[in-house]
Structure 1
Amino acid sequence: MAGNSFGQVFRITTFGESHGEAIGVIIDGCPPNIEIDLEYIQSELDKRKPGQSKITTQRKESDTVKILSGVFEGKTTGTPLAMLIPNEDQRSKDYSHIQDKYRPSHADYTYQTKYGIRDYRGGGRSSARETATRVAAGAIAKAYLSKHGIEIFAHVSSVGTIEAPNLGDLSIKELVTIREQNIVRCADPATANQMITFIDAVRKDGDTVGGIISTVVKGVPAGLGEPVFDRLHADLGKAMLSINAVHGFEYGSGFSGASMRGSEHNDIFVNPDRNIKAIKTLTNFSGGIQGGISNGMDINFRVAFKPVATIMKAQNTVDTSGEETQIVGKGRHDPCVVPRAVAIVEAMAALVIVDHFLRNLSVSGS
């Protein structure tokens, strides 16, 4: 397997490179009769596209998506659904200076070692540009899940050492409205302003910074997830760790749970409505997943992104001959990837949940 496909029932295969003619995705196993709203798909892509603010890369891509197959009269047909996104603003010359050099913390050396060849123009297949295809596929998955009462919300909860407070009990609709009113996509306005100022200062210094995206999935029924290796949280972890620059994933209490006692950490079951299908827990340290299977509570997780590897400062490295040399970043790059990665995290979460939702139909029959 070449590692370009994801999912079992709702299965996507992506293709294309950063500086090729186009990137695209094929969805196999997409259920029929999903109403396709092209404006909605485009709006999801717009959240990830480059050139949208002063704190993102200035590469200008409209990311205009075109559906090639699998849709008839505005609805999915159940056959493979193919989508294409042309590349419009490649500047391959920006990368000529690294043709024979390995960029620190990039995939240059590892790709060269594995394949004996690499596309140095923007990283080729290893570029985060590929993630636009996941967002397009994720929009289809989100449309299907919304019909079943499942909603997904992610936002930038920290940049560097700046952390947003708990968001309280606002609805996802309210949170999305707040998030989309600032360019860093943090659902706390005061924190967002601090983050923007900090990222801009980092950018002007020729450097980069990382951050964390927090996510909640509401409305997931109990029973999604498979034993033993396809546990729901395991698949969510794989999905998130497949995103460029992701270095960490935790769900529920995460690493903080390691310092707690069982008497503190256990989620006590309650059934106030006396309905076996509406059992809840008083706390949610489990993050909505127990034994790898959803328990009906909100699923929550956090994804940590490293600083973008390309910086506008001189760094020591080696070239393809093994000789020591120096390198300075050029071109258009994000000083912090998390504002644009919110859409990617939501898309990958949707792809995992929809895949398990459809897999569960074969077990429950409903």
Structure 2
Amino acid sequence: MRYLTAGESHGPQLTLIIEGLPSRMPFSKEKVDHELARRQKGYGRGRRMQIESDEIRILSGIRFGKTTGAPVALSIENKDWKKWTEIMGIHPDEEKAAKRRVSRPRPGHADLNGAIKYNHRDMRDVLERSSARETAARVAAGAVARQLLEYCGIRLAGHVVRIGSAGTRRLAGWTAAAIAEKSEASPVRCLDPEAEKEMIRQIDEAKQEGDSLGGVVEVVVENVPVGLGSHVHWDRKLDARIVQAIVSINAFKGAEIGIGFEAGELKGSQVHDEILWSEEKGFHRGSNRLGGFEGGMTNGEPIVVRGVMKPIPTLYKPLRSVDLDSKEPFEASIERSDNCAVPAASVVAENVVAWEVARALLETFSSDTAEDLLREVVRRREEARKF
């Protein structure tokens, strides 16, 4: 299973093509639109989220409410396009496009690197595609993958564990359903009411100072069958693919599985999960410090992954840069007004993880049809319990 996205931040639409879905999988447009709406929420977002109200248009691959096995094509309209037609169109108005030309690279963005790599003297051709707007299409892909996971009884949820210096301790014993309910009720998607208050206070303080904040998000996936991924080659390790997916999200700079970097501070007896056995569960672990993985494969415990997002680099307290044409120094301009997108980024993280788990599921089990897949997953769970 794979997908491809196309489109610019101020172009007419984002386009998504998904190939490799099994046939006869129940498909809900409403569930995809729900994930897109979640991505647009969160304390600290800017005015762009008031302009857009994302929903998908189904172009192919769905009939009678189910997948056909053919590629699924979806589009998401950019409602701001009407203001940009003469600037971002295939044949733009040269005078108007020249007025919106970007020759001043913003620190922390792809502007300058992309201009050098692709030989663009107008960096708008870089920033339009490198914009986080593209994550709407990635969330749509993940929302489709979530429906596949739900069909197989796999659930996931995400939440924010840190914004700025405000954070929560590691929480254990939460189900995906409980995490989803609690985080959805919080403006910063935090499970801890006290930490939530401090996160909001720090976001407000940073905004008053013309600054921005980053943070850490966590995604939990439960009821995952044993054996997704593989130990036999480096590129088949599912934990590695999930980490890559997290770091590929705009502004994310690192990821960890389970207790992650904390493991480097502890002794082995404090890190590894003891193996237990019972008639009811079969083999299972007494803890989940390794985040559901051993040897690059799922071990039946919940997948737990965290990602760190840097502060948004566009500031009202601008950083210094150098003009592309004159080579003169200047203070960077502002293209958007979010000062904290961590709550929204947690939704993106959920959906990129959902995609990787669903992809591994289809690689592991026979899946021409959704019924074939479910049958194989149920059999694996039963075999693992009796092993």
TM-score, normalization by structure 1: 0.90
Amino acid at match of 1:252: G
Map 1:10-159 onto structure 2 (within 5 A).
10-49=1-40, 52=41, 55-59=44-48, 60-89=51-80, 99-117=102-120, 119-120=123-124, 123-159=127-163
CA positional deviation for 1:329: 3.4
Partner residue in 1 for 2:94: none
Query: Could you list the runs of 5+ residues in structure 1 that have no partner in the other structure?
Result: 1-9
TM-score, normalization by structure 2: 0.86
**Alpha carbons of structure 1 residues 258 and 180: separation in structure 2 relative to 1, 3 Å:** same
Map 1:1-366 onto structure 2 (within 5 A).
10-49=1-40, 52=41, 55-59=44-48, 60-89=51-80, 99-117=102-120, 119-120=123-124, 123-226=127-230, 227-228=232-233, 229-273=235-279, 278-321=282-325, 323-362=327-366, 366=376
Report sequence identity in percent: 35
Of the two, which has the highest radius of gyration?
Answer: 2
Distance 2:283 2:43 in 1: 47
Q: Secondary structure in 2 aligned to 1:217?
A: strand
Distance 1:158 1:257 in 2: 19
Instruction: Decide which structure has greater helix share.
Output: 2
Determine if contact 1:18/1:121 at 8 Å carries over to the other structure: no
Higher mean Cα deviation, 125-134 or 187-196? Answer: 187-196
Partner residue in 2 for 1:6: none
Aligned length: 352
Determine if contact 1:178/1:188 at 8 Å carries over to the other structure: no
**Alpha carbons of structure 1 residues 122 and 86: separation in structure 2 relative to 1, 3 Å:** farther
Distance 1:189 1:179 in 2: 10
Amino acid at match of 2:254: G
Q: Secondary structure in 2 aligned to 1:202?
A: helix
Distance 1:172 1:57 in 2: 29
Query: Could you list the runs of 5+ residues in structure 2 that have no partner in the other structure?
Result: 88-96, 368-372, 377-387
For the aligned residue pairs, the C-alpha RMSD in angstroms reads: 2.2
Q: Secondary structure in 2 aligned to 1:124?
A: helix
CA positional deviation for 1:204: 2.1
Q: Secondary structure in 1 aligned to 2:17?
A: strand
Distance 1:161 1:98 in 2: 37
Determine if contact 2:158/2:179 at 8 Å carries over to the other structure: no
CA positional deviation for 1:127: 0.5
Amino acid at match of 1:201: E
Q: Secondary structure in 2 aligned to 1:123?
A: helix
Amino acid at match of 2:255: F
Distance 1:172 1:253 in 2: 18
Distance 2:227 2:208 in 1: 49
